[in-house]
Amino acid sequence: MNAVVLGGMSPRHHDWVSQMTETLKSECEVVQSLNYRHWEQPGSEMDVAYEIARVAELVEGLGEYVVVAKSIGTIVTTLATTRGLLSPKRCLFMGFPLKLVVAEFPKMASALPLLPPTTFLHNEHDPLGGAEVVGAYIEAHAPKIYSLQTLPGNTHDYVDFDLVKQLVVDA
Protein backbone atom coordinates (compact mmCIF):
# COMPACT_ATOMS: atom_id res chain seq x y z
CA MET A 1 0.00 0.00 0.00
CA ASN A 2 1.14 3.55 -0.74
CA ALA A 3 0.19 6.71 1.13
CA VAL A 4 -0.28 10.39 0.41
CA VAL A 5 0.01 12.85 3.32
CA LEU A 6 -1.63 16.29 3.32
CA GLY A 7 -1.36 18.64 6.27
CA GLY A 8 -3.26 21.61 7.59
CA MET A 9 -3.07 25.17 6.37
CA SER A 10 -0.58 26.60 8.86
CA PRO A 11 3.12 26.47 7.93
CA ARG A 12 3.71 24.76 11.26
CA HIS A 13 2.11 21.68 9.70
CA HIS A 14 5.23 21.19 7.63
CA ASP A 15 6.68 19.40 10.66
CA TRP A 16 3.47 17.35 11.10
CA VAL A 17 3.65 16.25 7.46
CA SER A 18 7.31 15.28 7.88
CA GLN A 19 6.61 13.29 11.05
CA MET A 20 3.59 11.55 9.53
CA THR A 21 5.55 10.71 6.40
CA GLU A 22 8.38 9.20 8.44
CA THR A 23 5.91 7.24 10.59
CA LEU A 24 4.20 5.70 7.56
CA LYS A 25 7.41 4.81 5.70
CA SER A 26 7.83 1.67 7.79
CA GLU A 27 4.41 0.36 6.67
CA CYS A 28 3.99 1.71 3.14
CA GLU A 29 5.93 1.05 -0.04
CA VAL A 30 5.85 4.71 -1.07
CA VAL A 31 4.78 7.75 0.97
CA GLN A 32 4.25 10.99 -0.93
CA SER A 33 3.59 14.28 0.81
CA LEU A 34 2.64 17.72 -0.34
CA ASN A 35 4.22 20.88 1.02
CA TYR A 36 1.84 23.68 0.20
CA ARG A 37 3.22 26.56 -1.86
CA HIS A 38 2.19 29.19 0.70
CA TRP A 39 4.37 27.50 3.33
CA GLU A 40 7.39 28.44 1.23
CA GLN A 41 6.15 31.99 0.53
CA PRO A 42 5.57 33.71 3.89
CA GLY A 43 2.69 36.17 3.84
CA SER A 44 0.89 34.47 0.98
CA GLU A 45 -2.45 32.71 1.33
CA MET A 46 -3.30 29.15 0.44
CA ASP A 47 -4.66 28.60 -3.06
CA VAL A 48 -6.80 25.46 -2.74
CA ALA A 49 -7.32 25.10 -6.51
CA TYR A 50 -3.56 25.22 -7.06
CA GLU A 51 -2.93 22.58 -4.37
CA ILE A 52 -5.62 20.33 -5.85
CA ALA A 53 -3.75 20.41 -9.16
CA ARG A 54 -0.45 19.69 -7.39
CA VAL A 55 -1.78 16.71 -5.46
CA ALA A 56 -3.21 15.31 -8.71
CA GLU A 57 0.31 15.43 -10.19
CA LEU A 58 1.74 13.87 -7.03
CA VAL A 59 -0.36 10.69 -7.37
CA GLU A 60 0.29 10.09 -11.07
CA GLY A 61 1.56 6.54 -11.44
CA LEU A 62 1.37 5.87 -7.69
CA GLY A 63 -0.89 2.82 -7.89
CA GLU A 64 -3.21 2.04 -4.95
CA TYR A 65 -2.94 4.54 -2.12
CA VAL A 66 -4.56 5.80 1.01
CA VAL A 67 -4.78 9.52 1.74
CA VAL A 68 -3.91 10.70 5.25
CA ALA A 69 -5.08 14.29 5.60
CA LYS A 70 -5.52 16.85 8.32
CA SER A 71 -7.71 19.96 8.35
CA ILE A 72 -7.48 21.81 5.00
CA GLY A 73 -5.92 18.65 3.58
CA THR A 74 -9.32 16.97 4.02
CA ILE A 75 -10.86 19.68 1.84
CA VAL A 76 -8.16 19.38 -0.85
CA THR A 77 -8.59 15.59 -0.87
CA THR A 78 -12.38 15.67 -1.01
CA LEU A 79 -12.59 18.23 -3.79
CA ALA A 80 -9.84 16.56 -5.83
CA THR A 81 -11.54 13.17 -5.46
CA THR A 82 -14.90 14.61 -6.49
CA ARG A 83 -13.29 16.06 -9.61
CA GLY A 84 -11.78 12.68 -10.51
CA LEU A 85 -8.22 13.88 -9.89
CA LEU A 86 -7.61 11.53 -6.96
CA SER A 87 -8.71 7.92 -6.60
CA PRO A 88 -7.69 6.83 -3.11
CA LYS A 89 -8.54 3.35 -1.93
CA ARG A 90 -9.35 4.83 1.46
CA CYS A 91 -9.10 8.15 3.31
CA LEU A 92 -8.09 8.89 6.87
CA PHE A 93 -9.13 12.40 7.88
CA MET A 94 -8.17 14.24 11.06
CA GLY A 95 -9.54 17.53 12.31
CA PHE A 96 -12.29 18.03 9.73
CA PRO A 97 -12.43 21.88 9.72
CA LEU A 98 -16.18 22.36 9.88
CA LYS A 99 -16.06 26.12 10.50
CA LEU A 100 -13.95 26.61 7.36
CA VAL A 101 -16.08 24.18 5.34
CA VAL A 102 -19.31 25.98 6.19
CA ALA A 103 -17.83 29.46 5.63
CA GLU A 104 -15.81 28.88 2.46
CA PHE A 105 -16.45 25.45 0.93
CA PRO A 106 -20.19 24.73 0.79
CA LYS A 107 -19.59 22.23 -2.07
CA MET A 108 -18.13 19.86 0.50
CA ALA A 109 -21.67 18.82 1.47
CA SER A 110 -22.25 17.28 -1.96
CA ALA A 111 -18.65 16.08 -2.30
CA LEU A 112 -18.34 14.00 0.90
CA PRO A 113 -20.75 11.27 -0.27
CA LEU A 114 -18.45 10.60 -3.24
CA LEU A 115 -15.45 9.64 -1.08
CA PRO A 116 -14.17 6.09 -0.81
CA PRO A 117 -14.31 4.43 2.63
CA THR A 118 -13.20 7.14 5.06
CA THR A 119 -12.24 7.19 8.71
CA PHE A 120 -12.63 10.50 10.51
CA LEU A 121 -10.59 11.11 13.66
CA HIS A 122 -11.79 14.12 15.57
CA ASN A 123 -10.95 15.66 18.92
CA GLU A 124 -13.95 16.04 21.18
CA HIS A 125 -13.54 19.81 21.56
CA ASP A 126 -11.62 20.72 18.39
CA PRO A 127 -11.81 24.55 18.07
CA LEU A 128 -12.72 24.29 14.36
CA GLY A 129 -15.78 22.25 15.26
CA GLY A 130 -16.46 19.96 18.16
CA ALA A 131 -16.89 16.25 17.57
CA GLU A 132 -20.64 16.37 18.12
CA VAL A 133 -21.36 18.98 15.44
CA VAL A 134 -18.75 17.58 13.06
CA GLY A 135 -20.27 14.13 13.51
CA ALA A 136 -23.74 15.46 12.71
CA TYR A 137 -22.43 17.19 9.56
CA ILE A 138 -20.60 14.08 8.40
CA GLU A 139 -23.63 11.88 9.09
CA ALA A 140 -25.82 14.23 7.04
CA HIS A 141 -23.36 14.13 4.10
CA ALA A 142 -21.63 10.80 4.65
CA PRO A 143 -19.58 8.69 2.31
CA LYS A 144 -21.19 5.28 1.76
CA ILE A 145 -18.68 3.68 4.13
CA TYR A 146 -17.27 5.74 6.96
CA SER A 147 -16.47 5.75 10.63
CA LEU A 148 -15.98 8.57 13.11
CA GLN A 149 -13.69 8.11 16.07
CA THR A 150 -13.86 10.76 18.75
CA LEU A 151 -10.63 11.40 20.60
CA PRO A 152 -10.25 13.29 23.88
CA GLY A 153 -8.86 16.78 23.46
CA ASN A 154 -9.61 20.45 23.00
CA THR A 155 -7.06 21.12 20.30
CA HIS A 156 -6.79 21.02 16.52
CA ASP A 157 -3.58 19.01 16.84
CA TYR A 158 -3.57 15.33 15.89
CA VAL A 159 -0.28 13.79 16.93
CA ASP A 160 -1.08 10.17 17.72
CA PHE A 161 1.07 8.95 14.85
CA ASP A 162 0.97 5.34 16.07
CA LEU A 163 -2.84 5.31 15.90
CA VAL A 164 -2.74 6.69 12.38
CA LYS A 165 -0.12 4.12 11.33
CA GLN A 166 -2.30 1.33 12.70
CA LEU A 167 -5.37 2.63 10.86
CA VAL A 168 -3.39 2.79 7.61
CA VAL A 169 -2.13 -0.77 8.14
CA ASP A 170 -5.69 -1.97 8.79
CA ALA A 171 -7.03 -0.22 5.67
Q: Is residue 139 part of a domain?
A: yes
pLDDT at 55: 98
pLDDT at 141: 97
**Whether residue 117 has pLDDT greater than 80:** yes
Give the number of domains in the chain.
Answer: 1
pLDDT at 126: 96
Average pLDDT rounded to a whole number, residues 85-114: 97
Q: Is residue 42 part of a domain?
A: no
Q: Is residue 41 part of a domain?
A: no
Q: Please tell me the chain's helix, strand, coil percentages from 3-state DSSP, rounded to the nearest 5.
A: 45, 20, 40
Which structural domain, as residue segments, surrounds residue 11? 2-36+47-170
pLDDT at 171: 74
Q: Is residue 56 part of a domain?
A: yes
113: CATH: 3.40.50.1820
**pLDDT tens, 11-66?**
889 999 999 999 999 999 999 999 999 998 888 899 999 999 999 999 999 999 99
Q: Is residue 129 part of a domain?
A: yes
**pLDDT tens, 141-166?**
999 999 999 999 999 999 999 999 99
Q: Is residue 9 part of a domain?
A: yes
pLDDT at 115: 98
pLDDT at 26: 94
pLDDT at 54: 97
pLDDT at 170: 87
**pLDDT tens, 76-93?**
999 999 999 999 999 999
